[in-house]
Amino acid sequence: MNDLPSKDWINYIDHEPKTYTNHRKFSLLDPYASPQDREIMTHGWFVETMPDLNQRNPFLKKYLIQNSIWWIEYAELYGIRQDTYSYPFREFMTDWTCAIQNEYPGFNIVGEEWVDDQGIIAYWQKGKVNQDGYTSCLRSLMDFPMNFLLAKSMKEEEAWGKGLVRLYEFLGKDYHYANPMDLVLLADNHDMSRIWEQLGYDYDLFKMSMIYLMTTRGIPQIFYGTEILMDHPGTDSHGMIRSDFPGGWKGDTKNGFTGEGLSAQQKDAQQFLKQLLNWRKNEKTIHYGKLMHFEPQKGAYVYFRYDKEKTIMLVLYKGDEDMNLSTDRFERFLGDATSLRNIQTQKETNISQGIPLNAKSGHIFEVIK
């Protein structure tokens, strides 16, 4: 900072007080936005301690691209999570992502765009045809619109426009995206309350949330510690949210690796997620199959993942009492079926008289024909 390569290496370096971003991300898409609003959004400093690089400078641009490629090669990286994706100069971000993808076609970059707006998320994805002609090489983005809905949909009482129907209507807006299957799904991360706390420590809702995360469209991301129900009671400080995973440090009274000191519920959650993840790891129908869902009724949200080889039925049921789910609406997928196999218990259920569901439960069934 005391010996910059050029006077225009940093945006607004001569301004006192410094010019900070207005965080108006929508101005980048807004056909009526003033040039001033757009400029301050991308060229203003994020905070006082983060000088904003001017990627319009051709030497800085080349340096940043070469530096990224060097680190990928040197550290043998498989992917990059790019923070605050929309804040830099957007034409540079296209050049940066395209250069990396041209060098490493199998490499993945996921962009963080923390907004509850599918239109803004979609704008940055590769393949999106934008009205202003902007093009991108960014294959994947974090699905924050889904993240904002997950805990709310689980905790709310089922009613018109509330509860599980939020997830149903949310997926119905995937028309915004060039490829919704490439979005990264998250229940929580290092910048927010952990999902266990968001759900009010309701274990049934936790398991349903994990089933949804692992079986809907997209690429699931699990924040470390979720598998042992890590939380941060009484505080939302980032230091507590990012606490060490227990068991690797001298003096730890709990050990998430051996199970020592964990509660019975924590051990059960770890085993539940372990089984779910190991099943998903080899399930191509979940990775690449199509998705069809049905309007939630009587507290039950049903969707199917399917391809030519297999059909998987997912059921999220929030009712407080056991229910027998009628199969009439699902004739398209269950018409020739004789039974369902529960992938968690491996038990088969004859569905001629409906599908029995326990209160507040999530189910993954393989359709047997």
Q: Which residues are catalytic?
A: 83, 112
CB atoms within 10 A of CB 164: 23
- Rounded-to-5 percentages of helix, strand, coil across the chain: 35, 20, 45
Order of all β-strands in the sheet with 348-350: 290-297, 300-306, 311-317, 361-368, 339-342, 348-350
Tokens 């080349």: give the residue: 62
| DSSP H/E element including 100 | helix 90-103
Q: Residues 6 or more apart from 165 whose CB is under 8 A from it?
A: 153, 158, 295, 296, 301
Output the CA angle 260-262-265, nearest 5 degrees.
Answer: 145
CA pair distance 39, 44, nearest whole angstrom: 7
CA pair distance 206, 315, nearest whole angstrom: 14
Pairing type for strands 140-141 and 108-111 reads parallel
Q: Residues 6 or more apart from 130 whose CB is under 8 A from it?
A: 29, 123
Tokens at residue 23, please? 């965080």
For every residue of 221-265, DSSP letters joined together read E--TTGGGT---TT---HHHHTPPPTTSSTT-S--TTT-TT--HH
Residues forming beta bridges with residue 53, ordered by sequence position: 10
